[in-house]
Amino acid sequence: MASDSMGFEKRYMRSIAELLGDQSLLCMSGDLHDVLRHRLSGLFTAESLCSTIKHFDALVVKALKEWKERETVFVLDEAMKITFNAICKMLISLERVEELEKLRKDVAEVIEAMLAFPFKLPWTRFYRGLKARKRVMDTLRNIIKFRRQGLDHPKDFLQSLLMKGESPFDAPLSDAKIQDNTLTLIIAGQITTASAIAWMVKYLDENQEIQETVRALHFPLEIKDPDTLLGLDVINEMTFASKIVKEALRMASIVSWFPRVALRDCYIEGYRIMKG
Ligand code: HEM
């Protein structure tokens, strides 16, 4: 329901645009949105997904070892850390622990501010979120500057945005667009995936039979080659696990709201929706 042809347009609250940036994909519509979306789709190439899956697997294996030593584990908090690290590696190749931790805290403050009342007074969550956004922008600006000077050029999503492509759709993006959309992707990729993991753990705990089936089906895949990290080939063999993911996404509302504005009066299933 995002396109003009459907009679609706995406319209996030002004305060969200202030936090994510007005160049963010989430705050754009029409042609600008199409161009940006085309550029960002590079994130989902088979090569990028394949290396992310391996990194994600390594992070999960490391976390599971650490969890064994603990009495209590808060799955959502832990999943937020794993998905944050995975997405930062995928987007900007950031792996240094201290820098990751600083960025993670700043992004968490931006996320908290997204659902706060937009009062810009020094003691409010919204104000703290705006300050955190500025720190995130400074961090990303420095990383981009470093790359533009040719001092660092890992093969990642940021590098693909900095390079000019062949088609008009691949025109260079301004630093502001890259920064706003990197923050958007970190947030969009982190919370959604972490919530999905937390829901799946809950559902699998409540459905022991399914949990045993998935273990029985997938342990042999690991035993084939216990030292190798997961690749797309093995993921493609995990059809039962894929059904669990889809069912968890169906049962839990990961994204509970996505605002649209009606461009003209219309009816949906008998309900009258007025323009605006
Ligand atoms: C379980 C995982 C996920 C779920 C359930 C999910 C769900 C959604 C939904 C419902 C929207 C539409 C929002 C709107 O139009 O207002 C959306 C948009 C978006 N998501 Fe996800 N998402 C997931 C994972 C990810 C990941 C991993 C990334 C990137 C790394 C991502 C990036 C985005 C972006 C950039 C948009 C904006 C798209 C646009 O405006 O064209 N999402 N997602």
Averaged pLDDT for residues 224-248: 86
Residues 141, 225: Cα–Cα separation, whole Å = 41
How confident is the model at residue 7, as a pLDDT? Answer: 86
User: Measured on CA atoms in the order 19, 25, 29, 35, is the torsion positive or negative?
Assistant: positive
Helix (H) or strand (E) holding 72: none
Averaged pLDDT for residues 28-35: 82
Torsion of CA 118, 181, 144, 231, to 10 degrees: 130
The model carries a pTM of: 0.90
Given a cut of 80, is residue 14 above it in pLDDT? yes
**Cα(150) to centroid(ligand 1), Å:** 31
- Say how many C-beta atoms besides its own lie within 10 A of residue 193's C-beta: 19
Mean confidence (pLDDT) of the chain: 90
* Maximum pairwise Cα distance, the chain: 59
pLDDT tens, position by position, 259-273: 889 999 999 999 999
Which of 84, 255, 257, when mutated, tests ligand 1's pocket best, judged by the most ligand atoms within 8 Å of its CB? 255
Given a cut of 60, is residue 92 above it in pLDDT? yes
The least confident of 128-132, 135-139, 209-213, 258-262 is 258-262
**Could you give phi then psi for residue 2, rounded to 5 degrees?**
-100, -20
Q: Are 18 and 130 in contact (CB under 8 A)?
A: yes
Averaged pLDDT for residues 220-224: 72
CB under 8 A, 24+ apart: contacts of 122-128: 126/15
The minimum-distance atom of ligand 1 relative to the CA of 255 is 10
Model confidence at 166, pLDDT cuts 50, 70, 90, reads low
Atom 21 of ligand 1, nearest CA residue: 188
**Could you give phi then psi for residue 145, rounded to 5 degrees?**
-60, -45
Q: Are 176 and 36 in contact (CB under 8 A)?
A: no
- Between 165 and 156, the higher pLDDT residue: 156
